[in-house]
């Protein structure tokens, strides 16, 4: 009886940052009274409300590339909001392109204007500077190299060497340059990166405290002479990042700094697989490397997601 059915609605605002999409949940997400702070929210969401994740970013409403962002009350009063980032298979610690997407979305909603703002993420406070239009500079959580020159024998590929580094998520940054890093080659790059990820897992190579390394980053020389490098980033659910990946670029900056190849304040331009660019630099505070990533984000749509109880796929296609 359609007259009795309760149809839920979730209001979202979509944006993209350097080609990578973000969907900010503005209202209609699960109400979690008494759960304050982004880290606590992420834990409760993943344990008890994970179907919201798949209904918001999963097909048929979303796509594998889409990163979702729940806004919540921050536990830190100096933050404009708390945020929990999620994707097609789970939750992220931080998200650089997503933070830029949240910034332009908050401005679109009239919640912020040009200036410096703080955001509370499950892995710490980040600060962003918004220029009042599209440009956002994110000061990320402290980033570092956890292990250098890890050597793996990857079946059908051979020896692969790389660094394990933290940039708000865990990355394996492959040392050997891979060419061509082009969209025409995405299937092969995905295959390679996935094999490397599987090898890391089977050889018990982890981040700090046994954390899974779920992002793989490949590099080649840039296509544009203005940039320093081009990358391909495989995200946890098998999609590739259309942007240069804010947390991946942070991990790269930390490794470059550790190797003495980047000085404080020096600009490093990271080009993505689609040719979009993030500008990165670091400053060092009390021995900690703080990456700053600058890029542009654009609001692309506002929508009301409809959860019809008659729809067999209202919770998304679960993975
Ligand atoms: O920009 O940090 C990032 C990111 C992580 C996953 C997709 N984008």
Residue nearest to atom 5 of ligand 1 (CA): 95
Mutate to test the pocket of ligand 1, among 62, 84, 247 (most ligand atoms within 8 A of CB): 247
**pLDDT (tens digit, 9 = 90+) per residue, 99-133?**
999 999 999 999 999 999 999 999 999 999 999 99
Q: Is the CB of 20 under 6 A from ligand 1?
A: yes
Mutate to test the pocket of ligand 1, among 57, 233, 254, 292 (most ligand atoms within 8 A of CB): 233
Q: Is the CB of 41 under 6 A from ligand 1?
A: no
**pLDDT (tens digit, 9 = 90+) per residue, 263-286?**
999 999 999 999 999 999 999 999
Question: How far is it, in rounded angstroms, from Cα 319 to Cα 310?
Answer: 21
Question: How far is it, in rounded angstroms, from Cα 44 to Cα 241?
Answer: 27
Task: Share the mean pLDDT of the chain.
Answer: 96
Task: Tell the CATH topology of 144-295.
Answer: Diaminopimelate Epimerase; Chain A, domain 1 (3.10.310)
Residue 248 pLDDT class (50, 70, 90 cuts): very high
Q: Is the CB of 101 under 6 A from ligand 1?
A: no
How many angstroms separate the alpha carbon of residue 20 from the centre of ligand 1?
8
Active site residues: 95, 245
Residue 319 pLDDT class (50, 70, 90 cuts): confident
**Of all helices (H) and strands (E), which one includes residue 15?**
strand 8-17
Please indicate, yes or no, whether the overall pTM of this predicted structure exceeds 0.95: yes
For range 203-218, the mean pLDDT? 98
Contact criterion met (CB below 8 Å) for 37 and 82: yes
Closest CA to 20 of 248, 184, 225: 248
Q: Is the CB of 236 under 6 A from ligand 1?
A: no
For range 168-191, the mean pLDDT? 97
pLDDT at 178: 96
For range 207-227, the mean pLDDT? 98
Q: Can you list the alpha helix ranges (DSSP code H) found in the chain?
A: 38-48, 50-57, 96-108, 186-202, 246-258
Closest CA to 164 of 221, 208, 195, 199: 208
Residue 1 pLDDT class (50, 70, 90 cuts): very low
Q: Is the CB of 246 under 6 A from ligand 1?
A: yes
pLDDT at 116: 98
Class of the CATH-defined domain 8-140+299-307:
alpha beta
Q: Where are the domains of the chain?
A: 8-140+299-307, 144-295
pLDDT at 2: 45
What are the start-end ranges of the E strands in 143-234?
144-154, 158-166, 170-174, 215-220, 229-234
pLDDT at 3: 56
Evaluate whether 8-140+299-307 and 144-295 have a shared fold. Answer: yes
Contact criterion met (CB below 8 Å) for 68 and 56: yes
**pLDDT (tens digit, 9 = 90+) per residue, 13-22?**
999 999 999 9
């Amino acid at each position: 009886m359609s007259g009795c059915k309760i149809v839920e609605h979730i209001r979202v605002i979509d944006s993209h940052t350097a080609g990578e999409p973000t969907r900010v949940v503005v209202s209609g997400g699960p109400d979690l009274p008494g759960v304050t702070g982004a880290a606590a929210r992420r834990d409760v969401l993943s344990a008890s409300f994970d179907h919201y994740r798949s209904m918001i970013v999963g097909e048929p409403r979303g796509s594998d590339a889409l990163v979702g962002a729940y806004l919540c009350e921050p536990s830190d009063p100096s933050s404009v909001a708390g945020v929990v980032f999620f994707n097609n298979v789970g939750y992220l610690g931080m998200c650089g392109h997503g933070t830029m997407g949240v910034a332009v979305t908050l401005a679109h909603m009239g919640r912020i204007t040009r200036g410096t703002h703080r955001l509370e993420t499950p892995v710490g406070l980040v600060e962003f500077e918004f220029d009042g239009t599209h440009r956002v500079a994110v000061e990320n959580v402290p980033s570092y190299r956890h292990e250098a020159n890890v050597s793996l024998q990857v079946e059908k590929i051979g020896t692969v060497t790389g660094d394990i580094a933290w940039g708000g998520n865990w990355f394996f940054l492959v040392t050997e340059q891979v060419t061509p890093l082009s969209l025409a080659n995405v299937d092969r790059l995905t295959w390679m990166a996935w094999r490397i990820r599987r090898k890391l897992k089977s050889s018990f190579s982890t981040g700090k405290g046994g954390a899974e390394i779920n992002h793989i980053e490949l590099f080649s020389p840039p296509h544009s002479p203005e940039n320093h490098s081009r990358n391909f980033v495989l995200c946890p659910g098998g999609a590739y990042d259309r942007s240069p990946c804010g947390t991946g670029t942070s991990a790269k900056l930390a490794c470059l700094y550790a190797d003495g190849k980047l000085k404080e304040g020096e600009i490093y331009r990271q080009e993505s697989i689609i040719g979009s660019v993030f500008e990165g630099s670091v400053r060092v505070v009390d021995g900690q490397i703080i990456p700053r990533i600058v890029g542009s984000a654009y609001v692309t749509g506002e929508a009301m997601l409809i959860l019809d109880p008659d729809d067999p796929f209202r919770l998304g296609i679960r993975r």
